[in-house]
Each structure stands twice: as C-alpha cells, then as structure tokens.
Chain A
C-alpha cells in the first residue's frame, strides 16, 4: 500500500465519520421538529426554525460532500487526484459547518435553507451579526467545494479530451477510445455542481452588496429567487448523480456482474441530463406569476425530460443487471438496489409535483418534503451508505449479509416508508410545510407529525446501527500505518 493511497483512504474515512455524525445530529433535529408539530414537546417558534434551518443546510451539505468523497475516491482509479485539495475542502467544510451552527444556534439565524431575499435582512428574533456570518459561512463552504470540483474537473481533463470526457466519440459507430461511464457521469455532474456553486457565489455577492450599501442598493426579489433555486435545486439534484456515478462504477464489481460498458445511449442520456438539469429549477417558481409563462412551461418540460435519461438508462441498466441472474447480494448492492427503488418512487412524486396544474394544489405543502425526502433518505443516503460500507469493508473484513444486517435493513425500510407516508398523506391533506405548530383548523397535521416522528425514530435506530458498523471500520483505517 503506497503512501498516496493510504492518505486518500484516511481522509475519506475521516469524511465518512464526520458526515455520519452530522447526519445523526440532523435526523435528531428533524425528529424534534416533527415532535413539536405533533405537540409532544413544546419549543418556541424561533427554536423550531433554527432547527429547521440547520437541518436543511446540514443535510444538503453533508450528502453533497458524501457524493464528492465517493467520486474523489473512485476517480483515483482513472486519474490522479489532489490530496491537498481534498484536505482543503474538508477543513473548509468543517469550518463552514461550525460557523453555520454558530449562526443558527448562537445567532438564532432562522430563514430556512432557502434564505429567500429579503428574509435574511428582516429575520425577526435573530442577532444582527448572524446574517453576515451566515453569508460568510456559505462563502467558506462554497469556496471549498468550488475548488474541489474544479480541481477534479481539471484532473479529468488532463487525461481525457473534452469530447472524450463527454463521451461524444461514442456517437460514432466504432469509438477508438472508451470513456468509462464513471468518468462521463462525473464530468457531467461536476459541470452542474460548478454552475450551481457559481449561482451561490452570485447570490452571496448580491446579498453583501445590499448589506454594505445600508439600504441604498436594493435587489430584485425575483432575480434572487431564481438564483437561489438555481443553486439549491441544482446542487440537491447533482448530489444524487454523484451517487449514481458510484453505482455505475462498483455495482457490477460487488455483484459479480460485468462492469457497465459505455454505449452511445448512455453517452446521449447523460449529455441530455446535463442540459435538462440546469433548467428544471424553474419549477420552484410556478406560483410566481411574474415569471414569464414560457419559462414555466420550460420548467415543466425540463423536469419531465430529466426523468427520461435517468429512467431509461440508469434504472433500466440496474434492472437488467439483476433480472433473472444469480447476483451475490451483500449489504452494498442491496443498499444500491433499494436506493434506486426509493429514487424512482421519489421521482414519481416529483414528476407529479412538477406538473403546474398539480403544483397549485401541492406547492409548499408537505408533499414537497415528502418527495425530496424519498429520494434523499431512501435514495441518495442509501447510495452513500452503500459506498461507505464498500469502502470500509474492502480492507478490513469481508462483505457478508448477516442476520443483524437484514433486520437493520428491514428497520430502515419500515421507518422510511412510515415516515414518508406521513408526509405524503399530509401533503394531500393540504397541510403546509414549515409550520412550527399547526392552526387548529388543520386537524390532521399534529396527528400525522406524531406518526412521522415515530417512524423517523425507527429509521434513526437503523442508521445508528449502520453508523456503528461503518465507523468502527473507519477508525481502523484511520489508525493504520503505511506498511
């Protein structure tokens, strides 16, 4: 084992432990929110909303980072990646998250992860220093991740030409060089990640401009909303694709199946996905009638079209790899398979919500958290957990499917389904999202919140068991010396 790969392993193990600890803390915050909505505990609205802000931003941050860690680790198989940049991103992420938690818990910053303009300037109850510190913490996170993404991109483009990285040569009948699917997906995803982070940078600059002008310079609320969702929607979507890149790379390997080859349709699908994903965010502005109708329709069509390449290529490939074939099932590919199922079901909920005529009934009801929790908690998280397992066990011990693991998976599924159903039913019952307590007229709200909290706790138990299994192996990797 050479020093370079050991260093990468150690930093990845460190990332995984930090991510899982923050994940558990954020789940607890989520359960507290549901308990408060269910009137089981009583917190002030300010506490509820600081919890909500912390929960949202931390979750997006850690699962994006988890995808990046996995991609960075596997990219080492094809190109040389920079350990220094990985470490730099880690340090900035930790600093950024600490600053974020200070703004929310010491500064009572509570605008939600969307921090829609001009709410951070009129956030009632928060300390005056919390808004600039919040913007600084976002800057720190953004800079760390931007440098990381650009560095990985640069490493890919050092080895592959631009057209090879996008696998354009596969449109011709006989491609001389094969682009591994992993490289293509990583390239496409990094493009989206960089674009979304730049949108965040622009938002932060515009916010600071208004902050330092002391009211002389006023932003346009519509522009800010567009930019914030460009950033927020795109990064939340791209982190799923980071997880998919990992599946393309190691699903075959752990299942004793041939590795997926690049073909013209995989190339076409991912190139299309790159375009659609950058315009789908318009569906967040359906209820803003100021947005021209053309963009609203683009939003619906792009949201629909984005599902075609992923369903026709990724889901179909997974299904084809498994259907009627003896597969060596382990916790890793089980998590991947389950994650794809969760991702598809969340996608169905998303397509329904991305339809403008349905959105008017569902916009900002609990249907929205319902669908994105489906493809995060039951999709992306499972992709990353699968990778964590694979990563932590490949050098420490063998992958076996023990009885305990099966039961834990069952807990995860039961907890996940129950917790999500509470969201979906509430969404269909017109219960609004982001309410610390429900008005008396909305009778089903508190009841469903209790159900959600109960099942989320079951989900948490499963995650705690997974955390124990993964973390103990990661500590072994951390304490290993180069031999």
Chain B
C-alpha cells in the first residue's frame, strides 16, 4: 500500500510544517518590544540549506532506482497483452490489434508471472491505469497516439482487476473502463 505510506509521510511533513509556522507566529506575538530576532542568520541559513540538500539528495538516490522504467527490466515476460485505446473504450488482446477494426478479447493473466502490456492509442491521449480488486491504483502508463509504451507488471493476487482511463480524453472519459482477471 504505497499510497497509505505516502499519505502518512505527507501528513507527518504537514504536521511539522504547521507546528513550525505556528510557533514562528507565536514567537512574534510573544516577543518583547526590543528583541532583535534571529542571530547568526547566515550561519543558520547555511546549515538549513545543507541539511535540505542532503535530505533531498538521499530521497532522490533512494527513489530514482525504483522508477517504473527500471523495474522488471532484466526479466523476460511470460505473456504480452496488446492494449489499444479509443474514445471511450479499451481493447485488450493477446494478438496484435488492428487500428482499423480493433477488437479485444477476455483476458486472463496468471499470477506471479511477468506480463508486458503494449499500450497505444488510436485517437487521442488516454491513460491505462490498473486498479487491484480493492480498487487501489497499482500501476499505470499513458497511451499516446503514434507511440507504443511497454508496461511490465507482476500480479501477486488473483482476482478481478479494473482498468480506468487516467488522461482526460473527452466527455466519455469517466465511463472508459475495462476489466481482466488474474488467475
């Protein structure tokens, strides 16, 4: 549940930020008439900046290798699913999809095996977002006309998965969805 930890982490930061700004404000309200405020400003600023750079550097170093372009890159998928998108439907097939007369089929993906989605669009930009049976977004990629994006994923839980469009594509955008099964 990456989303939960993101939310928790964010709320923690917001809490720290709020306490910080409130205490700054209170310190001004409670200050004496002739107090001069922060001393050694330049030194404090230096340490603040240094800590900020180090923290962000660590954060970047820890998160960049987890980017989706690198996950599962060294494995061979067991299946490929072709995904064609059109206003306002998804076509999923184990065979290549003809843009002129697209058609899909019922998809069943074995669990714990690497699958590669080859996602493209036949008209406007669409999104291809996979939601697990508990309706959590687990992975996504954009569907762009003229390009094919390869998305690799290993499903661990069997069940019914939903696909939603996550790039605004017109008035039917919210009804654009599909499902597949992981067995």
Q: Please determine if A and B sit in direct contact within the complex, based on CB atoms under 8 angstroms apart.
A: yes
Are A428 and B7 in contact (CB-based, < 8 A)? yes
Per-position 1/0 for A274-305, Cβ under 8 A of B: 00000000000001111001001100110011
Complex interface: chain B residues within 8 A of A177 (CB) = none
Q: How many angstroms from the CA of A372 to the CA of B10 in the assembled complex?
A: 15
User: Who on chain A is nearest to B14 by CB?
Assistant: A345
Q: Which residues of A contact B4 (CB under 8 A)?
A: 428
Residues B6 and A358 in contact, CB atoms below 8 Å apart: yes
**From DSSP, what is the main secondary structure of chain B's interface residues?**
mixed
Closest-CB distance, A448 to chain B (whole angstroms)? 13
With A300-B64, A304-B56, A430-B131 as contacts: A125 and B17 at CB distance below 8 Å:
no
Give the residue name and chain of the A residue nearest to B68 (CB).
A360
One of B14, B125, B175 near A119 (C-beta < 8 A): B125
CB–CB A358/B168 < 8 A: no
Complex Cα distance A337/B24, Å?
10
Contacts of B145 in A (CB 8 A): 118, 221
Question: Interface with A: B34-42, B77-85, B97-105, which one?
Answer: B34-42
Q: Provide the B148-183 mask, 1 if CB < 8 A to any CB of A, else 0.
A: 011100000000001010111111111101000000
B127 touches A325 (CB 8 A): no
Residues from chain A with a CB closer than 8 A to the CB of B169 are 119
Which residues of chain A in 320-370 are interfacial with respect to chain B, using CB atoms and an 8 Å cutoff?
Answer: 320-327, 329, 337, 340-341, 344-345, 348-349, 351-352, 355-358, 360-365
CB of B26, distance to nearest CB on chain A (Å): 10
Measured between beta carbons, the chain B residues less than 8 angstroms from A111 are 168, 170
Q: Which residues of chain B are within 8 angstroms of A40 by Cβ–Cβ distance?
A: none
B17→A307 contact, CB < 8 A = no
B170 and A119 form a contact (CB under 8 A) = yes
The number of inter-chain residue pairs (CB within 8 angstroms) is: 226
Closest Cβ of chain B: how far from A369's Cβ, in Å? 12
Contacts of B24 in A (CB 8 A): 319, 322-323
Report the minimal beta-carbon distance from B99 to chain A, rounded to whole angstroms: 14
| A119 x B129 contact (CB < 8 A) | no
Q: Name the A residues within 8 Å of B37 (CB-CB).
A: 320-325
For B49, the chain A residues whose CB sits under 8 A away are: 308, 312
- A-contacting residues, B129-144, CB 8 Å: 129, 131, 135-142, 144
- Tell me how far the C-beta of B136 lies from the nearest C-beta in chain A, rounded to whole angstroms: 5
Contact of A221 among B31, B53, B60, B125 (CB under 8 A): B125
A348→B171 CA distance, assembly (Å): 32
Residue of A nearest to B88 (CB): A124
Q: Count residues of A near B (Cβ-Cβ below 8 Å).
A: 80
The answer to whether B31 touches A324, judged by C-beta atoms less than 8 angstroms apart, is yes
> Which of A118, A312, A435 meets B45, CB within 8 Å?
A312
**Given A324-B31, A348-B17, CB of A308 within 8 Å of CB of B139:** no
Residue of B nearest to A118 (CB): B124
- Interface pair B171/A361, CB less than 8 Å apart: no
- 18 A-B interface contacts by CB (under 8 A): A122-B87, A265-B45, A289-B68, A296-B67, A297-B64, A300-B64, A322-B24, A323-B24, A325-B31, A325-B37, A329-B29, A355-B60, A363-B127, A363-B166, A364-B140, A428-B7, A430-B131, A432-B166
What residues of chain B have their CB less than 8 Å away from a CB belonging to chain A?
A: 2-4, 6-7, 9-10, 13-14, 17-18, 21, 24-25, 27-29, 31-33, 35-38, 41-42, 45, 48-49, 52-53, 56, 59-60, 63-64, 66-69, 87, 123-125, 127, 129, 131, 135-142, 144-147, 149-151, 162, 164, 166-175, 177
